[in-house]
Amino acid sequence: MGDRLVCRDCHRVQETEEVEACVGCGSTSLTEDWAGYVVISHPEESTIAEEMEVTEAGTYALKVR
């Protein structure tokens, strides 16, 4: 996924490289230091989404530092 930024608050992977705030939660706490990701397309049916407290479809990092 290249040099994508990830939100430290909600773990959402930002789809564009030039971003100043998270498109999911609006946080400006973004980082390039993350590992692994999961794509959640139906959060209401996903055990992983429930565990990660994700309510919106998208790409999320598994580990964020």
**Spatial CB neighbours of 15, under 8 Å, sequence gap ≥ 6:** 4, 23, 59
Which residue carries 């998270």 as its tokens? 22
**Is 10 annotated to bind ligand?**
yes
Residue type, 50: E
The model's pLDDT over 4-49, given as tens digits with 9 standing for 90+, comes to 999 999 999 998 778 899 999 999 999 999 999 999 999 999 999 9
- Name the maximum alpha-carbon separation found in the chain: 31
Q: Is 7 annotated as a binding residue?
A: yes
State pTM to two decimals: 0.89
pLDDT digits (tens, 9 = 90+) for 6-17: 999 999 999 877
Q: Is 17 annotated as a binding residue?
A: no
Return d(Cα 22, Cα 35) in angstroms, integer: 18
Q: Which domains does the chain have, with CATH numbers?
A: 6-64 (2.20.28.90)
d(CA 61, CA 26): 16
